[in-house]
């Protein structure tokens, strides 16, 4: 009698999707009702007391930011699959990652300074042009250069990390809106970005479908149209703050407000550690799940992770409400500690798939809380005219560390994945310490609107 061995592919429990969706729904849409029973201010999308000019400004920005997020996500969702389809082997993929992070380190680090000097509008148009040229090149070329594409997309990612946020803050101040209303836009940015990435996955799955050979390059066509739409919107509808600064004046201000303030150094270290941890998470999450020959439906795990990030971001206005005793530094302290513990468990203890997905989801929930909290602290501590340069320079240590591990072939050969994850955990714990120190060192002149 023959024995039939079933080859099952692990999938998340469907109730997990229901739980995440309902949690996000109630967290976001019950907040206005909670604010009616206390002094907690409702977030901007729900508060009818906010001016129509602010609501219009906020939603236009979030729409533009969502389109830019979709462009960024096109490569992250289908990038490795496309490279495999083109016959690129694992060593070449690692080499392209090294080239990309080298470009981010040696060129992208200074793009934030450039944006502060010449204005965010020009740099964001550059972001669209890079995506446009890369997409057209991949669409019409049979064998486009992998390294050139990696450099272009890495520089675009560097711009995305600071320029849109910096423009929004500058324009927010120019229009005279209250400083505390920025927090609402920060957590909504994280939610809109995560939703865009989930929608991005669904869009690409529908475009490629089962006919891979015929539809493989459809994502590049989508990127062309999105880049044109974003560039047109920025050029036609973008109102730029006149802030051109002489290089010498900028250097003096940067030295006085950024390099000379140890509190901003702590904030920069926290930004670098979360950037390093998230970057290597997306490199290692799939190899970790499919280790030892396990078969996993990764396409169903991906929305769970982003859904958890949405849930974490939706908790931000509850924790930062005026009736809450939490300060921003408190949220970051606990968020870094929990995310560090999660990474430690993943690094040092073999886990079943269900437990791994739960830990990964918890990590992304912490990320969803950390990102808007860091953006809030930047507004409290960093002068807006120096914001782009501060963000891009703070990412340099993370890009250097990522490049080091990749050059050591840490992705799959010389250094175990668990060692890299443990290093990420240590950086997260150190960031928790920096937030504790930041809290103890007291109020900063740019913190006038912070809730004490």
* Res 375: pLDDT: 94
- Residue 113 counted as domain residue: yes
**Pair 439, 333: CB distance under 8 Å:** yes
**What is the average pLDDT score of the chain?**
82
Q: Percentage of the chain surpassing pLDDT 90?
A: 38
Residue 23 lies in a domain: no
**Residue 142: inside a domain, yes or no?**
yes
415 — phi, psi (to 5°)? -120, 130
Question: Which CATH number belongs to the domain containing residue 348 in this structure?
Answer: 1.20.1250.20
> Highest mean pLDDT: which of 19-23, 75-79, 148-152, 343-347?
343-347
Residue 2 banded pLDDT, cuts 50, 70, 90: very low
> Would residue 45 count as lying in a domain?
no
Dist CA 332 CA 321 (whole Å): 15
- 156 or 32, which is more confident? 156
Mean pLDDT over residues 351-355, rounded?
83
Flag whether 9 is in a domain.
Answer: no
| Residue-level pLDDT at 418 | 85
* pLDDT score, position 44: 46
Q: Is residue 123 in some structural domain?
A: yes
Burial of 137 (0-12, 13-18, 19+ CB in 10 A): middle
pLDDT of residue 344: 94
**In-domain check, residue 104:** yes
What is the tens place of the pLDDT at every residue in 379-432? 989 998 899 999 999 999 999 999 998 888 655 566 788 889 999 999 999 999
Does the pLDDT of residue 161 top 80, yes or no?
A: yes
pLDDT of 320 reads 79
Confidence of residue 295 (pLDDT cuts 50, 70, 90): confident
- Does pTM surpass 0.75? yes
pLDDT in tens, 64-75: 999 999 988 887
pLDDT confidence of residue 451: 40
CA 323 to chain centre: 29
Residue 183: domain span? 54-447
Give the total number of structural domains in the chain: 1
Q: Angle, to 10 degrees, between the axis of helix 146-174 and the axis of helix 109-118?
A: 40
Given this model, what pLDDT does residue 48 score?
Answer: 45
* Per-residue pLDDT tens over the stretch 102-132: 999 999 999 999 998 888 888 999 999 999 9
44 in any annotated domain: no
pLDDT band at 37 (very low <50, low <70, confident <90, very high): very low
């Amino acid at each position: 009698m023959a024995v039939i061995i079933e080859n099952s592919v692990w999938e998340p429990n469907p109730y997990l999707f229901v739980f995440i969706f309902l949690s996000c729904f109630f967290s976001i849409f019950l907040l206005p009702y909670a604010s009616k029973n206390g002094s907690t201010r409702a977030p901007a999308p729900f508060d009818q007391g906010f001016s129509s000019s602010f609501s219009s400004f906020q939603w236009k920005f979030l729409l533009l930011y969502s389109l830019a997020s979709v462009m960024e996500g096109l490569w992250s969702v289908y990038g490795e699959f496309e490279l495999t389809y083109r016959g690129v082997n694992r060593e070449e993929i690692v080499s392209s990652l090294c080239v990309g992070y080298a470009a981010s380190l040696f060129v992208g680090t200074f793009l934030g300074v450039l944006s502060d000097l010449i204005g965010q509008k020009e740099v964001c148009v550059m972001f669209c042009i890079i995506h446009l040229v890369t997409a057209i090149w991949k669409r019409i070329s049979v064998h486009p250069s992998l390294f050139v594409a990696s450099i272009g997309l890495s520089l675009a990612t560097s711009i995305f990390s600071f320029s849109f946020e910096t423009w929004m803050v500058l324009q927010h101040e120019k229009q005279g809106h209250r400083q505390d209303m920025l927090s609402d836009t920060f957590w909504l940015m994280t939610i809109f970005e995560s939703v865009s990435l989930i929608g991005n996955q669904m869009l690409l799955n529908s475009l490629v479908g089962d006919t891979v050979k015929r539809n493989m390059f459809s994502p590049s066509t989508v990127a062309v149209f999105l880049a044109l739409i974003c560039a047109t919107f920025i050029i036609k509808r973008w109102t730029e703050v006149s802030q051109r600064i002489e290089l010498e004046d900028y250097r003096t201000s940067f030295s006085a407000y950024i390099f000379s303030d140890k509190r901003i150094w702590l904030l920069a270290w926290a930004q670098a550690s979360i950037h390093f941890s998230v970057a290597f998470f997306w490199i290692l999450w799939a190899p970790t799940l499919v280790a030892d020959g396990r078969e996993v439906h990764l396409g169903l795990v991906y929305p769970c992770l982003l859904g958890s990030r949405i849930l974490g971001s939706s908790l931000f206005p509850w924790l930062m409400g005026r009736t809450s005793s939490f300060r921003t530094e408190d949220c970051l302290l606990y968020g870094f500690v929990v995310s560090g513990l999660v990474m430690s468990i993943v690094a040092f203890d073999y886990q079943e798939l269900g437990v791994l997905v739960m830990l990964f989801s918890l990590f992304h929930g912490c990320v969803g809380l950390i990102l808007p909290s860091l953006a809030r602290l930047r507004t409290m501590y960093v002068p807006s005219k120096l914001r782009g340069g501060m963000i891009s320079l703070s990412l340099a240590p993370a890009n250097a560390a990522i490049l080091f591990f990749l050059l050591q072939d840490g992705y799959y050969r010389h250094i175990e994945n668990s060692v890299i994850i443990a290093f990420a955990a240590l950086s997260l714990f150190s960031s928790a310490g920096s937030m504790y120190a930041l809290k103890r060192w007291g109020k900063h002149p740019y913190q006038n609107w912070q809730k004490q």
